[in-house]
Amino acid sequence: MSQDEHPLQSTTITESNVPLLEGLTTTRAIRRYRDEPIPEAHLRDMLFAATRAPSGSNRQPFRFIVLTDSANAHKAKSLIAGSAQEIWAQKEQNDGYSKGSGADPNSPKSRMANTMRSYVDNFATVPALILPCLVRYRAADPMEGASVYPAVQNLLLAARALGYGGVITGFHRPVEKELKSLLGIPEDIFIASTVTLGKPQGNHGPVRRRPIRELVFADAWEHSPAWAVDPPGTRFTSAGPPKNKT
């Protein structure tokens, strides 16, 4: 096959009709996937977009390990699935997901718990598992994430553009050593997160956050400017896991 005929030689395989600003405000964490593999051309486009992100001095210390259907991929998925199931079972109990409003199967709390349970139970069969990694050039530093997480966000946004969705987790952390051994990742590499990707069973759409006056200040800490007003129709959520644990 000559280079000219290669399907990956087109500039962009799939045209996305989502405008940039709309994409930024409507990319949800997607945890339920259809049982469909992601074509290599789409993986290429997503990873290409991820690697366009900025990094300190343009050092590009980010690396992405893509795991879909190989023996290693299945082993890595199973390894992290086990960790995910343990972490979630613990969190579900600690954060009281089945108590309080969690007893009502239609409450947001119950629905979140159901989504998470289904996510960890099906983790071993996610269409694609990506491990974004950071090659450090100096000792670990709190600002080093500025050279890898913008690329992770680009990955999630590119997935959105191409009709996919995903979510960032830290479920690899308890099995980091085994993962490094399985995939030949050098000891000094930081596995920055676990990202799962696939065709959403649900839909993207406006996300819920705290009112922006609680998040956006001007001129001084906790001084919210008059212009920090959410657009009409914005729906809100409080921050973090359930507060009501009883």
State which residue, 47 or 86, has the beta carbon closest to a copy of itself.
Answer: 47
State which residue, 82 or 212, has the beta carbon closest to a copy of itself.
Answer: 212
Q: How far is C-alpha 155 from the geometric centre of its chain's CA atoms?
A: 8
Q: Which of 90, 103, 202, 229 binds a copy of itself (CB under 8 A)?
A: 229
- In the complex, the smallest distance separating the C-beta of residue 243 from a copy of itself, rounded to whole angstroms, is 12
State which residue, 103 or 146, has the beta carbon closest to a copy of itself.
Answer: 146
State which residue, 70 or 90, has the beta carbon closest to a copy of itself.
Answer: 70
Q: How far is C-alpha 12 from the geometric centre of its chain's CA atoms?
A: 22
Residue 168 main-chain phi, psi, to 5 deg: -95, 130
- Token couple for 158: 């590119």
87 binds a copy of itself per the rule CB under 8 A:
no
How many residues in the shown chain lie near a copy of itself by CB under 8 A?
104
State which residue, 79 or 156, has the beta carbon closest to a copy of itself.
Answer: 156
Rounded CA separation 12/46 (Å): 10
CB within 8 Å of 227: residues ≥ 6 apart: none
Closest C-alpha among 132, 89, 146 to residue 98 = 89
- In the complex, the smallest distance separating the C-beta of residue 121 from a copy of itself, rounded to whole angstroms, is 19
- In the complex, the smallest distance separating the C-beta of residue 165 from a copy of itself, rounded to whole angstroms, is 11
Block residue for tokens 């819920």 = 208
Contact between 71 and 82 under an 8 Å Cβ cutoff? The reply is no
Residue 90 main-chain phi, psi, to 5 deg: -65, -45
Contact between 160 and 27 under an 8 Å Cβ cutoff? The reply is yes
The binding track of 181-210 with respect to a copy of itself, each residue x by CB under 8 A or -, is: --xxxx--xx-xx-------------xxxx
Contacts to a copy of itself from residues 37-76, by CB under 8 A? 40-41, 43-45, 47-49, 51-54, 56-68, 70, 72-73
State which residue, 177 or 186, has the beta carbon closest to a copy of itself.
Answer: 186
241 binds a copy of itself per the rule CB under 8 A:
yes
Q: Which of 29, 78, 110, 178 binds a copy of itself (CB under 8 A)?
A: 29
The amino acid that residue 42 corresponds to is H
Rounded CA separation 78/84 (Å): 10
Q: Which of 104, 114, 146, 245 binds a copy of itself (CB under 8 A)?
A: 146
